[in-house]
Structure 1
């Protein structure tokens, strides 16, 4: 009886749950894959560097090509427009040509067009070669991110993204420095020829590290060319509108009005056409996902801060402090050097802490550095700017790395290429929008401050009369007659007012950047909680 009862009780026991299967081990990453990824990251550095590297040498290039300041700006505009247009197309072109063929082809063409830029014989030829350079260089940015996301297991992606983000933030910091050094030593063509050094390393690394894959050229016949054409017209026109608008007094120019209309119609047509497609070449619906949309929006704000600060600060150092390109580079470089140490720490923190917290800290540091720069005066120089640059360098890795983690959070493997392209497009567009806003702010606020200061500089003021007497005496001592010396004193006083007006306008720009970055902290907390490598 006891035995029967025991058997009956055993039969009534619920079945034991099977032991949970251990998680499948991640595949090991071989050396060839790491070589390919680091070669691709080198390409990102080279492509972004070439946006900034010409800024320190524009005066020499314009002189050689007999171009005005306004005409010379097209060298940067054409590069940036082509870069923004090609970024959303990279996922499609990778499917058509394979990652290996597409990346090798773009690197080779980038080197050819860089060389042609060095040999440009007039401004139109330079603009064309810069556009072709931007079209091939821009493709290297999202393809590098796609390689990291598709060739590395989740546990390794954070370190790969960390190196990628380091290259994208270091390039704007070192671009003016490198351009100034090369121009001073070897002339401006050398800033284009130097691309052959990293370019050959890239070609070797990609050829060795990426395996051959079949081409799918038939996709070219099936491509959605109306959507691609409308996108190219819309984004290209938008960049021209943003980059050239301030110098042409915005809507007072027929060109700017035309670009604004073309940008509006092109982008609306692009979005409308893609909504009717079952398989669009880029998945714009990713923007509707809360976390991806937040990462793109905050990424645009961070791009505004990064490109805006590297636009305004060199202007201040050149126009107010009187620094040459090499000395400007020494200041800007402090925005890059500390990142070499900070980026690995950011990668480690991203695996342990809520990325929203880390991004908020980074935004706060970056905003704090901008607010520090909003109190500059005409005597501010290298010693007073180093700390704010270091503070900026500590914040940027926390921002860019965590934002890339948000951009890929819960994104399916089939959408990773689209996510990479759209996120990078948003970041670069944010930089273009920010630069346009700041350029306009400098113009408007300089006029405002000049008018306000001019109201207080009255010839009936005792302080003004005393200052004019001092300046007149100085010019008389230098050999001028009393009448000419008086006129020179008035001119010098006017220059002093204009100088202080520009200083105040630059301060306003940094204050705007600080406010935008601070406001982005609230937006950041709309995203999901993310820990790199977690769920």
Structure 2
């Protein structure tokens, strides 16, 4: 190994990594920080429940578009200038959201937050792969991986606490001091990079328009599909067509552009392609389960947002505790074995929650959440490491954009799957329970009579009516619990079925990460 490769990162490089980590954490936090505050926000800005969902959807749509396009902006403006612009923009748009008196202004602010915040996620991984020498990259990867795990976990908890103890406005205003600190770190830690304004003159406009149209429409389709009954809706059908047109334009741009906006050719590398697919799967499990657990706890044991947040937070503890070990583990454990182990832990944790009952509460999730945290540690962090080393350094921006877009897109697919199956499987289970236990069967009559007597309070007829209502509620609750069990089981199966993808990955040298990304 040459002396150049043995050279350690200087203080400026670590300040740059710290800036990238803080920016990525802030951006991932804002994906979910408003979820616990949505009912309050909707009431204050005069939005209906359906309209209020766009407060989250607007951010997700804008973010995934910018994640994919960030490599092109970075090459054109230079990394330092690009990050300074988007950090300042994020602070401005956060203020816009915090002061929003109407739904329209809130959505404008959230779109702006999504565009500017989306740029901070892939650039954090780019900083790690370009500013740190190969032997120190695992430290930066661990810090970045922590943001991917903790951001979605801490978001609802922080948002719920701020809403309960201060005001929902502070869920946005909290970004202001962080953005100011981030600007200082960027000015100190990053050098002024080379700009390439010529990229604007011969830009891959087909690719830019295609990615914006394809990813934007696809994300909106997945977010709104179940609410609009999928392809029964002309809106969903139109979004699907526009998304398809967008991806066709991207393909044409890859063929005719001198320098495509996003080099999809790196997906021909089997190792990176497998990392991309597993990022889809792990992202789906991450965001899908982060949605399932609070929903179950709110609907069955009647937890509030803050109580649910503490249960969700448990999965972040193993990552925080084991993060210092990652630079050592990445040198002694084959990356393929580590990712397979992580996905197996993840799948096993899902199976632990595949037999829920109506009597279960947060305690039922403790062991599964800790095991899930181990799964996230091994799968996400080692996939991050593989993403930075699977391609040449000149493709680092494109690899980071694709890897992070895959994780977010996997989350959108998972949430669409969850919302669809929650509706359909609950109806199916209610029908089956109703067929097995009818009010006219001897067992059903005896049960109803028992309920009616307990609720009569001197009014037998009223007691029977209340008993029927309670019986119906219990059937619905049982059907809902069975559906949640089905969904956890399904996520477990998906994780285990995806494990063979690790066989397509290239192993990292035992002496340290590959130098390709240095």
Match of 2:412 in 1: 432
Whether 2:481 is the aligned partner of 1:503: answer yes
Q: Work out whether residues 119 and 189 of structure 1, in 8 Å CA contact, stay in contact via their aligned partners in 2.
A: yes
**Does 2:143 correspond to 1:155?**
no
> What is the Cα deviation at residue 277 of structure 1?
2.0
Q: Secondary structure at the match of 1:280?
A: coil
The aligned residue for residue 495 of structure 2 is 517
Task: Give the C-alpha shift of residue 398 in structure 1.
Answer: 0.7
Query: Shift in Å at residue 94 of structure 1?
Result: 1.2
2:175 to 151, 172, 195: 195
Partner deviation per Cα, 1:117-168 (whole Å, 9 max, x = no partner): 1111222221221111101000000111111111111111111011101111
Matched, 1:486 2:464: yes
CA distance in 1, matches of 2:84, 2:115: 14
Instruction: Find the aligned partners of 2:199 and 2:480 in 1 and give their Cα distance.
Output: 54
Q: Report if aligned partners of 1:405, 1:530 keep a CA contact under 8 Å in 2.
A: no
Measure the CA separation in 2 of the matches of 1:284 and 1:154: 25
CA contact (8 A) 1:100 1:210 kept: yes
Q: Is the 8 A contact 2:351 2:492 kept in 1?
A: yes
Could you tell me whether the CA contact under 8 Å between 1:346 and 1:398 is conserved in 2? no
Change in CA separation of 1:22 and 1:432 when aligned onto 2, cut-off 3 Å: closer
Q: Which residue of 2 aligns with 1:84?
A: 64
In structure 1, what is the equivalent of residue 233 of structure 2?
253
Q: Which residue of 1 aligns with 2:455?
A: 475
Which of 258, 261, 277 is 1:297 aligned to? Answer: 277
* 1:51-70 alignment runs, 5 A limit: 51-70=31-50
Q: Does 1:34 align with 2:14?
A: yes
TM-score (structure 2 length as normaliser): 0.96
**TM-score (norm. length: structure 1):** 0.93
Structure 2's unaligned 5+ residue stretches are none
- What pairs with 1:386-465 in structure 2 (closer than 5 Å)? 386-465=366-445
Return the alpha-carbon distance in structure 1 between the equivalents of residues 226 and 501 of structure 2: 29
The 3-state SS of whatever aligns with 2:259 is coil
* Offset, 1:202: 1.0
Give the corresponding residue for 1:357.
Answer: 337
Partners of 1:373 and 1:52 lie apart in 2 by: 23
User: 1:253 deviation in Å?
Assistant: 1.1
Aligned counterpart in structure 1 of residue 107 of structure 2, from 127, 140, 143: 127
Shift of 1:213: 3.2
Task: Give the whole-Å Cα distance in 2 for the aligned partners of 1:148 and 1:307.
Answer: 24
**Superimposed CA distance per residue, residues 378-437 of structure 1 (whole angstroms, 9 cap, x where no aligned partner):** 111122211110001111111112112222334112111111111111111111111111
User: In structure 2, what is the equivalent of residue 528 of structure 1?
Assistant: 506
> Is the deviation greater in 41-50 or in 342-351?
342-351
* Distance of aligned partners of 1:202 and 1:22 in 2 relative to their CA distance in 1, 3 Å threshold: closer
- Choose the corresponding residue for 2:208, options 228, 242, 253: 228
3-state SS of 1:139 partner: helix
Q: Is the 8 A contact 1:368 1:514 kept in 2?
A: yes
Whether the 8 Å contact between 2:31 and 2:60 is mirrored in structure 1 is yes
* Distance in 2 (alpha carbons) for counterparts of 1:253 and 1:22: 62
Question: Within 5 Å, which residues of 2 pair with 1:341-356?
Answer: 341-356=321-336
- How far does residue 214 in structure 1 lie from its aligned partner after superposition? 4.6
Structure 2 CA distance for aligned equivalents of residues 322 and 22 of structure 1? 61
| Alignment length (residue pairs) | 513
- The Cα shift of 1:97 comes to 1.5
Structure 1's 203 and 461: CA in aligned 2 closer, same or farther, altered over 3 A?
same
2:262 partner SS: coil
**Of 51, 59, 63, which residue of structure 2 is paired with 1:71?**
51
Distance, in Å, in 2 between the alignment partners of 1:459 and 1:425 is 51
| Cα pair distance change 1:24/1:110, threshold 3 Å | closer
Gaps of 5+ in 1: 1-20
Any idea what SS the aligned residue of 2:6 has? coil
Task: Supply the distance in 1 between the matched residues of 2:326 and 2:364 (Cα, whole angstroms).
Answer: 27
* 1:340-380 C-alpha deviation (Å, 9 max, x unpaired): 01223233211112110111111111111111111111111
Q: Which residue of 1 aligns with 2:195?
A: 215
Return the offset for 1:33: 1.5
CA distance in 1, matches of 2:125, 2:4: 25
Counterparts of 2:327 and 2:435, CA distance in 1: 53
> In the TM superposition, what whole-angstrom CA distance separates every residue of 1:58-97 from its partner, at most 9, and x where no partner exists?
1111222222222211111111110110112111111222
Q: Secondary structure at the match of 1:458?
A: coil
Distance in 2 between residues matched to 1:67 and 1:24, nearest whole Å: 58
Q: Matched residues in 1 for 2:283 and 2:448: separation?
A: 45
1:45 aligns with 2:16: no
